[in-house]
Amino acid sequence: MTITSPHLGSSAGWTDARLLYALEEVVEKELDRHLKVTKDWMPHEYVPWSDARNFPGFFEDGEAWGKEQSKVTEIGRIALVVNLLTEDNLPSYHHEIATLFGRDGAWGTWVHRWTAEEGRHGIVMRDYLLASRAVDPDKLEQFRMAHMSEGFESDNSHSMLHSVAYVSFQELATRISHRNTGHQSGDPVCDRMLARIAADENLHMIFYRNLLKAAFEIAPDLTMQAVRDVVVNFRMPGHGIPGFERAAAQMAIGEVYNMRIHHDDVLAPVLRFLKVMEIDGLGPEGRRAQEELGMFMGGLDAEARKFDEKLAARKARMAARASA
């Protein structure tokens, strides 16, 4: 497709304020669409309350947590903690997008609606984990305090366009992580809960992805550069969680989230939908960003193939040991 230059002239003419104003009608349209297709749901309906019992502390009949009480797998426990601690930082996420997008008009309505919907995710996940005794409640709270006490600042807080590009991928990444955690959890109740959360995340991704498409139409060079920067430097929002690197490595081996999933199920689908590599009519900076994006995706695919081979070899060794 051919995209013409923005009416403001060069890329230098676009500021965050002008982009926010130019995209306001798109935000309003996408908000209306979102409210028509989204479904309200009750977090308490997804929690196995009948499994709950008191923990020690103020209750004399309190029972201490033990790993044998958990119905979820080891990888399920690891991923659930990472996913919940990520959701716990909602106050910081709200502050960032409210600062970038504003609290007025369609942008503000979306910011508050998104925050309200995301709030359900932390509520239902924590209630499930505590009622079902899926994870150690003391460690979970200690991790939450440590993680939130550090604060959070996005890598893209300097630019609303970079932020829109980031969440277009991040919302899908979160959906995939929740969905795969459910599949790997070993508990149908957990799987059902995370499927409900994943459905929300998918709708959030569609909102931002469509907004990013509109940004390409009015400011293609700047948007291409933003997408290049975000894809090349992408980090999940939970990267500051205590022990995140080790947990991420375990989640990669457990096929909850790894390089192959990131390339095939997150980056590639969004780039393909937006036809990013087919956009022409770009200026020098836009073309350079497009070329660098293509090279990065090729390199990531090659790295993912190496990971696939190592993972397959690991599975073969484990199968051989099990049958010995």
pLDDT tens by residue, the chain, 324 residues? 333 334 444 566 788 889 999 999 999 999 999 999 999 999 999 999 999 999 998 888 999 999 999 999 999 999 999 999 999 999 999 999 999 999 999 999 999 999 999 999 999 999 999 999 999 999 999 999 999 888 788 888 889 999 999 999 999 999 999 999 999 999 999 999 999 999 999 999 999 999 999 999 999 999 999 999 999 999 998 888 888 999 999 999 999 999 999 999 999 999 999 999 999 999 999 999 999 999 999 999 999 999 999 999 998 888 888 887
183 is in an annotated binding site: no
Q: Is the dihedral of CA 24, 29, 31, 34 positive or negative?
A: negative
With respect to residue 67, please indicate whether it lies within any of the assigned structural domains: no
30 is in an annotated binding site: no
245 is in an annotated binding site: no
Given this model, what pLDDT does residue 12 score? 60
With respect to residue 7, please indicate whether it lies within any of the assigned structural domains: no
Residue-by-residue DSSP string for 192-236: HHHHHHHHHHHHHHHHHHHHHHHHHHH-HHHHHHHHHHHHHT---
Given this model, what pLDDT does residue 4 score? 38
217 is in an annotated binding site: no
CB count in 10 Å sphere of residue 77: 19
With respect to residue 54, please indicate whether it lies within any of the assigned structural domains: no
With respect to residue 166, please indicate whether it lies within any of the assigned structural domains: yes
CATH of the domain at 293: 1.10.620.20
With respect to residue 81, please indicate whether it lies within any of the assigned structural domains: yes
Count of structural domains within the chain? 1
With respect to residue 96, please indicate whether it lies within any of the assigned structural domains: yes
68 is in an annotated binding site: no
204 is in an annotated binding site: yes
With respect to residue 55, please indicate whether it lies within any of the assigned structural domains: no
Distance (Å, rounded) from C-alpha 174 to C-alpha 109?
22
Question: Which domain, by its residues, includes 266?
Answer: 23-49+72-323
With respect to residue 305, please indicate whether it lies within any of the assigned structural domains: yes
pTM: 0.92
